[in-house]
């Protein structure tokens, strides 16, 4: 009985860690070419970035002069 509880606890902790890692990976939306941006996920694999303090959209696939 004690072994079963320990296994259930271990599996619960492992599942929680997997879910936490997956959710943080999904929310990782940054602009490597411009640090003055605010980015947000606007689709499963789509990240939209704007300049800080404005609504000007930034193309993060290119370096910003």
Average pLDDT, stretch 55-61?
91
Residue 18, C-beta contacts closer than 8 angstroms, at least 6 positions apart: none
With vertex at residue 49, the alpha carbon angle to CA 48 and CA 50, rounded to the nearest 5 degrees, is 130
Is the per-residue pLDDT at 58 higher than 50?
Answer: yes
Average pLDDT of span 29-57: 91
Q: Which domain holds residue 43?
A: 31-65
Query: Do 8 and 19 fall within a single domain?
Result: yes
Give CA–CA dist 32/37, Å, rounded: 10
Same domain, 40 and 22: no
pLDDT tens-digit map of 3-35: 677 767 766 665 555 544 444 444 579 998 898
Residues 48 and 63 in one domain: yes
Please give the model's pTM, rounded to 2 decimal places: 0.51
- Answer whether 27's CB lies under 8 Å from 4's CB: no
Q: Judge if 35 and 7 occupy the same domain.
A: no
Q: What's the confidence (pLDDT) of residue 19?
A: 44
Residues 25 and 35 in one domain: no
- List the end-to-end C-alpha distance of the chain, in Å, as a whole number: 65
Q: What residue spans of 1-65 are helical by DSSP H?
A: 2-26
Structural domain total, the chain: 2
């Amino acid at each position: 009985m004690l072994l079963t509880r320990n296994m259930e606890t271990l599996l619960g902790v492992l599942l929680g860690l997997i879910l936490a890692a997956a959710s943080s990976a999904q929310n990782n939306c940054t602009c490597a070419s411009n640090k003055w941006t605010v980015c947000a996920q606007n689709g499963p694999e789509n990240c939209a970035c704007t300049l800080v303090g404005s609504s000007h959209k930034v193309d993060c696939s290119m370096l910003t002069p």
